[in-house]
Amino acid sequence: MTTSPTSPFETLTLEQLRTRTSAKWRFFEPDVLPLWVAEMDVPLAECVIDAVERAMRNGDTGYPANNPYGEAHADFAAERFGWNLDPTFSYAITDVMSGVDDLITTLSEPGAPVVTTPPVYGPFDQHVKRLGRPQVFAQLNDAGRVDMASLEEAFTQVKAGGKGGVFLLSNPHNPTGVSHTRDELQSMVDLANTFGVHIVSDEIHASLQMPGHTFTPILTLEGAENAFALTSASKAFNLAGIKAALIIAGSNQKRLLTRMKANNVAWTSHLGVIAHTAAYRHGGEWLDAVLAGLDSNRQFFAEQVATLMPKAKFLVPEATYLGWLDLRGYGVPNDPAPLLREKGRVAFSPAEFFGLGSDGHVRVNLATNHAILREAAERTAAVVTAL
């Protein structure tokens, strides 16, 4: 496959990327290729640079006011997802995971369990444990999708406990890159309503849909009026270092949202709101170029895996820039990442980070250039085929 000359992932060289001081490029030794944490190897959108620079030059670095972020997101969601969202049903928070904490503790009593669908984003497990909540797991099926029978069993267990509970959903799913269909999500909503489980949907990767796939906001589904969603421009626009996010309430939860907002003492970053608002308002063309580049990258890496590691299985993402690579065909350890980092000098997100069903897998960050993806595939193949 040839690389589009306009791909933003082909703009920066490895030498330029190594001048960055963020976690992706400084956590491991300089000879390690970093394909782990969710940062993209792209130049930032000019509209974001301009907005932040303007704020800095104006000394506009105080506390956020009103809801420009929620309003910008509502317009963005209408254009991208066909979602007619009232921005007064949202407010800005520090980041998605702080919102997860707030919602779990607000929607359920102490000791009520939280349902997750592993393998899933590691901080779900970490935050649930930190809150002292029991966990109930509904493991994904072999295709990396939510298994409705397993989910029903989990909800049955929650109902039997008598305290209610929360279903923490990754939509789209991290790490498998699955873009849940509307029918799948409707089934999840129906089951949650049947068993009295509250839904909290992490939709931070919503904007990163690959061709042929469409994002469905949980709050657009029938029966999801009591659900909550969390989102941010941080993943789609590479703004993790300028934190801001949104809590969005279902149509029956306006009163609860208002109470939560009044009790929110952790102000989000004003610069974060400025940056994310600019991204949603003016970053559409930049995002389209990123999506085209990611489509190229996912196909390119799949070809590398098929050629160099025919016993491996690569779950080509339908959304996100994260791929799920199954190396069990080569007899790798339960968590292959330490071996690949030590012997191959390539860093993937480790299996242990994602919980049940992760043995023999690594998560691959595809948001880089083809040269790095090729080199990472070659190094990985050299290690696993020698086992």
- Say yes or no: 132 and 180 in one domain: yes
Residue 183 and residue 221: Cα distance in Å, rounded? 10
Residue ending a domain, among 226, 255, 282, is 282
DSSP-based three-state secondary structure for 45:
coil
User: Where residue 335 sits, what CATH number does that domain have?
Assistant: 3.90.1150.10
- Taking only the tens place, the pLDDT of each residue in 120-176 is 999 999 999 999 999 999 999 999 999 999 999 999 999 999 999 999 999 999 999
Other C-beta atoms lying within 10 Å of the C-beta of residue 329:
13
Tell me how far apart the alpha carbons of residues 175 and 323 are, in angstroms, rounded to a whole number. 7
Do 47 and 278 touch, CB atoms closer than 8 A? Answer: yes
DSSP labels, 60-97: --S---S-HHHHHHHHHHHHHH-----GGGEEEES-HH
pLDDT digits (tens, 9 = 90+) for 63-93: 999 999 999 999 999 999 999 999 999 999 9
Rounded to the nearest integer, the mean pLDDT of the chain is 97
Q: Note down the domain range covering 104.
A: 63-282
Domain membership of residue 55 (yes or no) is no
How many domains would you assign to the chain?
Answer: 2
- Of 229, 256, 282, which residue constitutes the final position of a domain? 282
Tell me: cis bond preceding 172? Omega within 30 of 0 counts: yes
> In the 8-state DSSP scheme, what is residue 319?
B
Assigned domain for 57 exists: no
**Residues 89, 222 within the same domain:** yes
Residue 382 CA: distances (Å) to CA of 328, 333, 360: 15, 15, 16
253: helix, coil or strand? coil
Closest among 323, 330, 306 to 367, alpha carbons compared: 323
Please indicate, yes or no, whether residues 217 and 318 belong to a single structural domain of this protein.
Answer: no
Tens-digit pLDDT profile for residues 176-222: 999 999 999 999 999 999 999 999 999 999 999 999 999 999 999 99
Which distant-in-sequence residues (6+ apart) come within 8 Å of 158 by Cβ?
112, 113, 115, 136, 164, 165, 195, 196, 197
Find the CATH number of the domain harbouring 109.
Answer: 3.40.640.10
Residues 342 and 274 in one domain: no
Q: Tell me if 307 sits within 8 A of 1, measured CB to CB.
A: no
What CA–CA distance (Å, rounded) separates 160 from 152? 12
The two counts, helices (H) then strands (E), for the chain are 13, 12
Where does a domain end: 224, 248, 282? 282
Distance, C-alpha 349 to centroid of its chain: 13
pLDDT in tens, 288-324: 999 999 999 999 999 999 999 999 999 999 999 999 9
In the predicted structure, residue 246 carries a pLDDT above the cut 90: yes
Q: Based on the domain organization, do 236 and 337 belong to the same domain? A: no
* Whether residues 139 and 239 fall in one domain: yes
**140 shares a domain with 28:** no
Residues 27 and 73 placed together within one structural domain of the fold:
no
Q: Which uninterrupted H or E stretch holds 35?
A: strand 33-35
Phi/psi at 113 (nearest 5 deg)?
-80, 165
Task: Enter the pTM of the model.
Answer: 0.96
Residues 379 and 256 in one domain: no
DSSP structure string for 92-120: EES-HHHHHHHHHHHHS-TT--EEE-SS-
